Amino acid sequence: MSDGGADLLVRHDTEYEYSSQVAVAQHLAYLQPLDAPGQEVSDFRLDITPSPGRLKPGRDVFGNHRTHFSLTRPHQALLVRVQSRVRLRPRFAQLDPEASEPWEAVRDSLRYVAGAPFREVSEFTFDSPYVLRDAQLRDYARASFPAGAPILAGAGDLMHRVHRDFRYEAGSTDASTTVLEAFAARAGVCQDFSHVMIGCLRSLGLPARYVSGYLHTQPRFARMTHGAADAAPPRPAPAVIGADASHAWVAVHCPRLGWVEFDPTNDAIPGTGHVRLANGRDYGDVAPLRGVVQGGGDHQLRVAVSLSAA
């Protein structure tokens, strides 16, 4: 495309098979990509089998698309199938981290002051269920944030270090693993890499949020070298981690530039291969599909995700 963008077709199937019948079920899905800067959704289709008795789309407090649906007839299987067409444009190809504000200035601007106006971004500096601030995380992060360092240069260095120091190991953690457990193990998957980086940033008083989405097999992204983005245009990556599956990365708030994203799993600035589903404090806010069922016994879960050029 002439603007350096990409058109992607995303397919995401989630299938449950139960050992006995489910009498009633309530589910919440975060499966519709965002319409946001650099990302335009031209088509979205959600198919649910068996057909839900009630389906209610809406938005959550963070502005994400979410869908509640209820199944009130007995069933022994559930298939949730999503297809989306998304157009992506480069957002961070010309990013200059050295031009961002000193990290201490960002931290101090978000401290509580009686009578001062509330700033929404400040809520991403506090603890959340999966990400607790901790002295261990603060001490690890400080090596990337010397006095006066620009906030985005520090975040880029922290991304490099998390990518280098932590081992990507599928199956070593699960959805309930806390940030301190992942930090102690120095291993995990994209969810854990993201939680650790977010915990490090928040432990310094900096605003950081969790981004859920998808990653194409050969995305175009900007590498960061010595704290600055490459001057060359984004280029295809020969291999990435977490591709063609649900993925997660981090966004850091810079007053001058807004939310800027970092993918510690791949040591990269997201480009036209990262499709954003939702933003939250941590994984718990934006899990793609969750639910409460009555009955069902044991279950088997199968998830299939594919991204292709549209």
All structural domains of the chain with their residue ranges: 6-89+287-309, 97-285
Residue with tokens 């079920």: 25
pTM for this one?
0.90
What's the pLDDT at 1? 46
8 Å CB contact between 213 and 248: yes
pLDDT band (50, 70, 90) for residue 163: very high
Contact 264, 224 (CB under 8 A): no
What pLDDT band is residue 240 in, cutting at 50, 70 and 90?
A: low
Fold (CATH) for 97-285? C8orf32 fold (3.10.620)
- pLDDT tens per residue across span 27-46: 999 999 999 999 999 999 99
Which amino acid is located at 78 in the chain? Answer: L
* pLDDT score recorded for residue 2: 56
Mean pLDDT of all residues in the chain?
Answer: 90
pLDDT at residue 175, as a whole number: 83
**Of 283, 293, 289, 301, the residue nearest 48 (C-alpha):** 289
Does the structural domain 6-89+287-309 have CATH classification 3.40.50.11030? no
Lowest mean pLDDT among 3-17, 19-33, 187-201: 3-17
| Residue 169: count of CB within 10 angstroms of its CB | 13
What does the alpha-carbon distance between residue 107 and residue 94 come to, in Å, rounded to a whole number?
25
- Asked whether residue 219 carries a pLDDT value surpassing 80, the answer given is no
SS3 108: helix
> Would the pLDDT of 60 be above 90?
yes
Buried b (16+ CB within 10 A) or exposed e, 233-262: ebeebeebbbbbbbbbbbbbbbeebebbbb
- State the sign of the Cα–Cα–Cα–Cα dihedral 182, 187, 91, 308: negative
